[in-house]
Amino acid sequence: MKTEDLKGLGLEQEAINKIMDWNGKDIASEQAKTKKVESERDNYKSQLDTATEKLERFKDVDPKEMEATITQLQADLKAKDEEYAAKEAERQFNDTLDKAISTAGGRNAKAIRGLLDLDALKNSKDQTEDIKKALDSVKESDAYLFGSDEPFLNPVGSINDAHGGNDNMGSLASIRAAMGLPAKKKGE
């Protein structure tokens, strides 16, 4: 649309200017749409070129070889998962066993482990209970590996002397009497 065409229709300049503004806005709007569509077209073309280039790399690849590689990688991954699970189970078993030995009052965990059937305990369904039973059995047969539960029956040192004081005469007199010696007199 041209200004001369509108003047030829007998329109005033103000009306022509208004029409030309509307026309300019419509043209700008359509140009924006066109640019957007061209941008999308260029993007799709770029994606197609990239996909074609990637497909070219696979042109000489044998699908059966690729499938075998994938299968091998999956098997390796499964083996690693199983190895990790076995190590984790071993760690949990060792922690449970060490805690049980400590709770039972074990003095030497390494020596106590040597007396246990570790393989049977690892494969047990109720490890905690079976470990406890095995430790009770070892405690019964080899009590020296565990701390004593009995209280101190013979304390060391004097608790009180015969005179009610702090000298060692009372305890010394007891020792002399136990040895069959006469009591020591004061001042001797």
Per-residue pLDDT band at 58 (split at 50, 70, 90): confident
pTM, 2 dp: 0.45
CA dihedral of 122, 93, 138, 123, whole degrees rounded to 10: -10
Residue reference for tokens 């070892």: 138
Quick check: helix, strand or coil at residue 12? coil
Question: Tens digit of pLDDT for each residue in 59-76?
Answer: 777 888 889 989 999 999
Distance CA 81, CA 89 (A): 12
CA-to-CA dists, residue 83 to 75, 90, 91, 122, 181, angstroms:
12, 11, 12, 16, 74
